[in-house]
Amino acid sequence: MSQFSRGSAGSPDRMVVPDLPDLPDATVSRLPEYLRALHQLAQAGQDTVSSEALAAAAGVKSAKVRKDLSQLGSYGTRGVGYDVALLIDQIQRVLGLTQCRNVALIGVGNLGHALAGYGGFANRGFRIGALVDADPARVGERLGDVVVTHIDDLPATVAAERIAIGVIATPAVAAQAVADRLVAAGVTSILNFAPCVLTVPAGVDVRNVDLAIELQILSFHEHRRGRGEPVGAPLPPLPKVVGS
């Protein structure tokens, strides 16, 4: 029971939400998975859940679940388990999901369209509050109940829609410029789908999702298993144009 370690020790320049322990990265990245599993359990009518059952639902070991949850405080009951509703509430509070966060999606191309139409965000604490593109031909287009605005209006859009997170779904060549403009507009969290490394100032948080990298990691294990050389043509001489 030693959380809340980062209370008011140092110089409280910036108000830090009072009871927010700084959790291990590995734990933070699993909390959303527990949350997903807990919602499923709640929907199935479960009131309480043991670490064993939650571990099974989330695809991890039970000791890990207990360690992770103990970081948030003592919300379990020995001999019984965890109260599902209470736990959902606590995890949402820790993740800052007690209210909906607005997301700006930059790049309304192939992937952008799919993300804009993906229903899975609304359920999970996010709302696409802005669609942005650099192509004037796309500005004005309506997707769902959001109209595409121009990237030059980003500062106004971010302010008007109170954007908390920027999602970059542009070609790689444009991604750094978009990141710079997001940062300039005051956005401090970026999810980057473009296959490139972004450089941002300290204090800005970037997460990358590269679909080809995931496939390449699978390829390695497939290769090792001896499902060795696949088929297809002998890999075209790589047209020297990669990057994207």
For 112, half-sphere exposure in the C-beta direction (CA atoms, 13 angstrom radius) is: 25
Contact between 166 and DNA (CB under 7 A)?
no
Contact pattern from residue 173 through residue 192 relative to its own copies, giving x for each residue in contact according to CB under 8 A and a dash for the rest: ---------------xxxx-
Contact between 223 and its own copies (CB under 8 A)?
yes
Rounded to the nearest 10 degrees, how much is the dihedral formed by the CA atoms of 140, 187, 180, 168? -60
For 197, residues 6+ apart whose C-beta sits below 8 A from its C-beta are 208
Closer to DNA by CB, 83 or 161: give it: 83
Contact between 73 and its own copies (CB under 8 A)?
no
The one among 79, 201, 226, 239 contacting DNA by CB under 7 A: 79
Pairing of strands 163-168, 189-192: parallel
Helix, strand, coil shares, percent, the chain, to 5: 40, 15, 45
Contact pattern from residue 82 through residue 101 relative to its own copies, giving x for each residue in contact according to CB under 8 A and a dash for the rest: ------------xxxxxxxx
Contact between 58 and DNA (CB under 7 A)?
no
Q: Which helix (H) or strand (E) holds 112?
A: helix 110-117
For 124, residues 6+ apart whose C-beta sits below 8 A from its C-beta are 97
Contact between 124 and DNA (CB under 7 A)?
no
Contact between 213 and its own copies (CB under 8 A)?
yes
115-144: contacts with its own copies (CB under 8 A):
115, 117-121, 123-127
Contacting residues toward DNA, per CB under 7 A: 1-2, 24-27, 49-52, 60-64, 66-67, 69-70, 74-82
